[in-house]
Amino acid sequence: MSKCAGKEPFIYPETLETLLSEIRLCREKYSPFWIKMPHLYDIKQFDSLLKVIIQHNIQGVTVANLIKDRKKVEIKDPLTDEIRGGLSGEPTRKHSLELNRHTYKNYGDKLTSISVGGVFSTEDAYAKIKAGASLVGLITGLFFEGPQLIGRINRELVQLLKNDGFSSISEAIGADFNKKQKKSKKL
């Protein structure tokens, strides 16, 4: 069976290389292009995909939500084989954050990152920003918390930024990697 067989042919550097080479022929020179990264537990494989992406001048990545292999996460209620599809939301949060950190630490100067996976609160969104996300996406959190979650995160994020001495979100991006994090000014 070839590496291309199955439902996810582009989780291998060789097949992703072929795809991006073909896409390059169709793209306009300056059109932005983003790739949604698979939620891989093999960091070497994940990194090999990022290297191919960089070689093809892709502007950004979405890191990473759906977990296909249910054995990789601990879930509260067992799922039968009849329930199909990947896992999203809270079971993805921790490892998604690790993948986001890896992406920013190694490619933050070359890629913009949208971090997704397990965003249910302002603290979840802020952790992703400090880990290097320029943008944060959420869907499962909306199902459980409702559409007011977005407004709440935006309002509460202002206070978290102030508490850490940041005047904007852009200052907080990748703060986990900065040697000297800003401290709040004393009033």
Q: What is the pLDDT of residues 45-103, one digit of tens each?
A: 999 999 999 998 888 999 987 777 777 777 777 777 777 777 788 888 899 999 999 99
What is the number of alpha carbons within 13 Å of residue 92 lying toward its C-beta?
28
Nearest to 40 by CA among 86, 119, 96: 96
* pLDDT given at position 181: 45
Pick the CATH number of 9-177 from 3.50.50.60, 1.10.3720.10, 3.40.50.2300, 3.20.20.70: 3.20.20.70
pLDDT at res. 86: 74
User: How do residues 95-146 score in pLDDT, each as one tens digit?
Assistant: 999 999 999 999 999 999 999 999 999 999 999 999 999 999 998 899 999 9
Bridge partners (DSSP) of residue 36 are 62
pTM over 0.75: yes
Query: What are the residue ranges spanned by the domains of the chain?
Result: 9-177
